[in-house]
Amino acid sequence: MSYKKYSLWNAVFIALFSVVGCQTAPKAVDSSANELQWESRLRIKDLEKNKTQSVSADVVARKAAGEVRIEMSALAIPLASYVMARDGFSCALYRQKVFYEGPLKDDALQPLIRIPLSPVVFRQILFDQPITGGDWICKQGGEGLVESCTSRRRQMQVNWERQPQNRTVRVTHPGFEIHWVFNHPSTEVQFKENTFKLEAPRGFKVIRL
């Protein structure tokens, strides 16, 4: 093989490798984006009761305001709507016909996912940020993105697994496990005026926590 042909094949190989590398590089959530929308799916396992629930969740957020809305469903059947504001939350459970509302304390997500995952921790997971505060210790991966976070006090560990088009966040705790797969978010979204407002549907029992 001549030197010219050898050089040509080398160039082709490098070009192909570069294209594949670009396609498979993990993506981080754009830190400059303020309004985002995710399609996601999650599996929640209650280790004490040995029960597992798998659902889909459409998530929208306005980062600067700390607002998040989650629409949870299974087999296209609506299960719950959840709105998190900077200082409070509201949650409608459609099968149970129960509406929860209250301040944004550590247990504010329990009406939705039945586990003690702090809303502050959830926001940082959602926006693909290292978990801060308390005794959380985080490590970064090879791309400079958060890879794992651990809290001994909460007995909780969070691990990130990244793919080109999604990321899986695994939360482990002595009482539960969560596998939450987030597709890469859309940043071209328009929210309605009442997107981050949720009122009790007629006939629902209202519980204030």
Cα separation of 41 and 57, whole Å? 6
Report the chain's mean pLDDT, rounded to a whole number.
87
pLDDT tens digits along 74-105: 999 999 999 999 889 999 999 999 999 999 99
How many CB atoms are closer than 10 A to CB 97? Answer: 13
User: In this predicted structure, what is the pLDDT of residue 24?
Assistant: 54
pLDDT of 11 above 80:
no
Residue found under tokens 């929308």 = 37
Contact, 183 vs 37, CB < 8 A? no
> What's the one-letter identity of residue 52?
T
pLDDT of 114 above 90:
no
Which structure tokens are listed for 82? 């959840």
pLDDT band at 29 (very low <50, low <70, confident <90, very high): confident
Cα separation of 94 and 208, whole Å? 17
pLDDT tens digits along 145-190: 999 999 999 999 999 999 988 999 999 999 999 999 999 999 988 8
Which structure tokens are listed for 91? 């949650």
Three-state secondary-structure class, residue 193? coil
The domains located in the chain, with CATH, are 35-208 (2.50.20.10)
Q: Which of 139, 117, 142, 121 is closest to 131 using CA atoms?
A: 121
Cα separation of 161 and 148, whole Å? 9
**Which burial class, exposed, middle or buried, applies to 130 when counting CB atoms under 10 A from its CB (0-12, 13-18, 19+)?**
middle
pTM of the model: 0.83
User: In this predicted structure, what is the pLDDT of residue 33?
Assistant: 84
pLDDT band at 3 (very low <50, low <70, confident <90, very high): very low
